[in-house]
Amino acid sequence: MALFNNNFRSGWALFVRNGLIITFLVLFALATIFPIYFMIISSFGDPVEAGAMSYSIFPSKISFESYKFFFNFNANSYNWLLNSLIVAACITVSNVLFATLAGYAFAKMNFKGKNVLFAILLGSMMIPGQVTQVPLYILIVNVFDLQNTYEALIMPSIVTVYNIFLVKQFMSSIPKEIIEAAKIEGCSQPKIFYYIILPLSKTVMAVLAILTFMAAWNDFFWPFLVTNTMDMQTIQVGLKNFRFANTTYFAPMMAGATISAVPMFILFFSLQKYFLEGVTVGAVKG
């Protein structure tokens, strides 16, 4: 920071520069936080007044009627939250487990065709997700007949190439000398992975868990495709039931969106330390 400040010999120029940076950061933070603020404030509005489409930044009164309306609106309101929790938890656990194993294999093990296989995986990342949705839907619904099941919601996301790539890049930075020393001491591959690699990979595993859980929890398109009954819908799909041809239950919908955001906040702040460490990995050497 001191070296950076030396470029400004004038105190006034430094003051202007810092002022512009702070102003930009404050405006960016406000633009980022405002949708969340508006969602929470709207959720405390009265369901009847919200039907009149009268929105305000500051609520005239605080009411929990929208939250009661959300849970009483449909008998499956609790099922939507439970389904999202089951699907997101299973996808997160499977991704952390399989991506860690695959990343270790690609980073630290030697086997025939490793580079070719990894190149094919990277190539699959270049294919837009929309292109694979139709054949994936035919496979899950028509071939395996898994429509409207947890398997249909979980199986397509059991592990992603991006997560394998992320773990592989992180584990490549772990010195080989540690593994070689463990082998000399007589450690087998499972023991090396469990006692050495996993403790050193907590950071990337936490990042993996947060990003995967958020993606699975917020996914709308795939659960919308493979579920056709309300009891199997996730919370993101269930919220669309508050919209009708002539009106939208805006405040109850915002109440449901606020409730659905709570697990993500809890997960993020509980793993915040590891997440911030993961973001800065490789940024500083020495």
User: By the 8 A CB rule, do 255 and 69 touch?
Assistant: yes
pLDDT at 85 over 90: yes
pTM for the model stands at 0.82
- Tokens at 254, concatenated: 């915002």
User: By the 8 A CB rule, do 216 and 91 touch?
Assistant: yes
Number of helices followed by number of strands (H, E) in the chain: 17, 0
Under 8 Å CB-to-CB from 149, ≥6 apart: which residues? 232
| pLDDT band of 286, cuts 50, 70, 90 | very low
pLDDT at 247: 74
Cα distance between residue 92 and residue 244, in whole Å: 33
| pLDDT band of 283, cuts 50, 70, 90 | very low
pLDDT at 15: 85
Average pLDDT over residues 238-250: 80
User: By the 8 A CB rule, do 190 and 247 touch?
Assistant: no
**Kind and range of the H or E run holding 164:** helix 161-171
Cα distance between residue 34 and residue 39, in whole Å: 8
User: By the 8 A CB rule, do 53 and 45 touch?
Assistant: no
pLDDT at 18: 86
CA angle 171, 111, 180 (to 5 degrees): 50
Cα distance between residue 197 and residue 273, in whole Å: 19
pLDDT at 266 over 90: no
pLDDT at 254: 86
pLDDT at 117 over 80: yes
User: By the 8 A CB rule, do 141 and 199 touch?
Assistant: no
Nearest to 255 by CA among 242, 273, 270: 242
pLDDT at 87 over 50: yes
User: By the 8 A CB rule, do 122 and 187 touch?
Assistant: no
| pLDDT band of 178, cuts 50, 70, 90 | confident
- Tokens at 89, concatenated: 């938890």
| pLDDT band of 159, cuts 50, 70, 90 | very high
Dump pLDDT digits (tens) for 34-55: 988 888 888 887 766 655 556 6
| pLDDT band of 127, cuts 50, 70, 90 | confident
